[in-house]
Amino acid sequence: MPNKTNITKTFMSLAVIFLVARGVSGETYFNMKEMRDPTTLKVSVIKDWHAVSGRTPTRQKTVEITVGQSHPGKDYRVKVQFAVPADKKAKGFCLTSGGSGGDMQMRETDSDLIQAGVGLVKTHIGNLPGDLKRSRDELFNKTLDPRYRNFWIWPATFMRAITAAYAEKDHFTKGKVLVYGFSKVGETSAITLINDQRVTAAFGVVCPIYASDVRLSNPAALARLDAYNKAQAGKKPAPTGRRRRRRPAGGGWLGGLAGPSMKKGALAAGKTPKQLQDFAEKLADYLFISRNVKKLQARGAEFLFQPGTHDMVSYDGIWGGMNAPDVPVYNAANSGHGKRGLRANLKESNRAAFVLNHFIGANKPMLTPPTVSTKNDGGKLKVTVTFKPGSEESSGRIFWIYDRGPDASSTYLTNMIPEKNWKDMTRDKAKKAWTVEIDLDKNANCIDIFSNHQKTITINNKEYTTAISSPYTRVKLTSDK
């Protein structure tokens, strides 16, 4: 089994042979033939198939596999755990991060999947140690080779774990594959869904999904953001209700595409802003859900994301709502990394419902994104949210905030939605839509709004409350700003 030193040496060069870049005109940035090749996994069995008793008996196995190589003998390897029903093969599986040295413990959703004949696969998606990360970042800054970024190696890890599972032919048969996770694992899930057609669904929380101008290092957008932040210098952020450690705009991800900032180091290494923008544009179709909605829907893929309204990673919610309203999202007010959220947020069990519905099926379909329209009428903002006919949403609640900063700005992250800024909507039977009126602040320049809606579905005789948001919408209230 390779030791930590070998893994460290691997990443110091990290020219992963399985991540062959074909250039911007290529079909994909992942060589899927290599990703799917089980003969190059170099499987090392840590714990062979064995029975695991409990509330839901399973058979489980733990292995270590090769994700890629820098050169012969320098493998990057990860652990992968499998769990299947005790008495039959698993058809398809649910994949996430979080593998450990012990056997998987079956939580409620896990038990339901196993009982339905679906397998579970876990591997490890994690950051590199500091010294190793610095060496890799230096290589990226010099070359702008995407193989030296996490958005290469993390999805490759998921792809190779899928290959490893299907190589266990006595225990897995091909079926649906759902990937999910929080933060970096959510990001990995989104990218894997886009690039690997074996994946049929993805669910992610507080992860980047929008190819916004700021995220793609558009010089004009960054200049406007810089000017705004400078104008805000010296102003105190709005109170959040508790002390927080101050984070830079974008939480260190601004200018990072789908990861920590690459701007400062790349510019110091001699790269130009134009080169960074070109790099981002060339990769955007392979990294962001907003660029792939129609393509994914055409292949029958399912996806749902909870990006957070105030998250340091998902810092472009305004752009997303206004430019990619067809991406299904649930935005809990004041949510994000380390955020508590408003007490008025609707209750939901989206992850469990989404996962189980994908594999088992519910009595009703989950909600799809509605449309939203607004009208400023005599100091009142009239809002109408419309779902497709037959959606059967059961509630509507709107949230709003005045004069919030632009995407990725410090005030975007720190100015929270006030506890009082919410209101239940009314179902207008004639319009077949949800409506509400908001008394406007006459001193405000703009108002941001979004509404949340619930629907209860039944799976295996259990009820699950799901929720979805209308597109995040900014409405200008004055003509001068």
What kind and span of H or E run contains 8? helix 4-13
* Residues in contact with 313: Cβ distance below 8 Å, sequence separation at least 6, in sequence order: 183, 187, 206, 207, 208, 251, 253, 336, 337
**Sign for the pseudo-dihedral over CA of 3, 7, 12, 15:** positive
CA distance 385 to 395: 11
- pLDDT tens digit at each of 481 positions of the chain: 445 444 444 443 333 333 343 333 334 588 999 999 999 999 999 999 999 999 899 999 999 999 975 443 457 789 999 999 999 999 999 999 997 779 999 999 999 999 999 999 999 998 777 776 777 788 889 998 887 888 988 999 999 999 999 999 999 999 999 999 999 999 999 999 999 999 999 999 999 999 999 999 888 898 899 898 888 876 655 444 444 444 455 557 777 888 888 888 999 999 998 898 999 999 999 999 999 999 999 999 999 999 999 999 999 999 999 999 999 999 999 999 989 999 999 999 999 999 999 999 999 999 999 999 999 998 999 999 999 999 999 999 999 999 999 999 988 999 999 999 999 999 999 999 999 999 999 999 999 999 999 999 999 999 999 999 999 999 999 875 4
Res 250: pLDDT: 56
Q: Which residue from 434, 461, 377, 388 is spatially nearest to 112, judged by alpha carbons?
A: 461
Res 17: pLDDT: 35
Q: Which residue from 65, 90, 61, 74 is spatially nearest to 13, judged by alpha carbons?
A: 74
CA distance 442 to 463: 44
CB atoms within 10 A of CB 111: 15
CA distance 402 to 386: 23
Q: Which residue from 454, 142, 469 is spatially nearest to 325, judged by alpha carbons?
A: 469
For β-strands 90-97 and 119-123, DSSP reports them as: parallel
User: In the structure encoding, which two tokens stand for residue 282, read together?
Assistant: 């060339």
Domain 1-205 sits in CATH 1.10.3470: no
User: In the structure encoding, which two tokens stand for residue 224, read together?
Assistant: 């406007």
Q: How far is CA 172 from CA 20, 90, 93, 272, in A?
A: 28, 5, 8, 48
Provide the β-strand partners of residue 201.
178, 302
Q: How far is CA 127 from CA 22, 47, 130, 150, 207, in A?
A: 26, 25, 9, 8, 15
- Cβ contact 96:115 at 8 Å: no
Helix axes 130-143, 4-13, angle to 10 degrees: 20
Res 249: pLDDT: 52
Helix axes 184-195, 150-167, angle to 10 degrees: 70
What kind and span of H or E run contains 155? helix 150-167
Res 261: pLDDT: 83
Query: 44 phi and psi, to 5 degrees?
Result: -115, 120
From the number of C-beta atoms within 10 Å of its C-beta (0-12, 13-18, 19+), residue 71 rates as: exposed
From the number of C-beta atoms within 10 Å of its C-beta (0-12, 13-18, 19+), residue 145 rates as: middle
CA distance 304 to 286: 18
CA distance 142 to 38: 33
Report the length, in residues, of the chain.
481
Res 316: pLDDT: 95
* Cα 169 off chain centre by: 30
pTM of the model: 0.91
Helix (H, G, I), strand (E, B) or coil at 277: helix
Q: Which residue from 121, 303, 119 is spatially nearest to 194, judged by alpha carbons?
A: 303
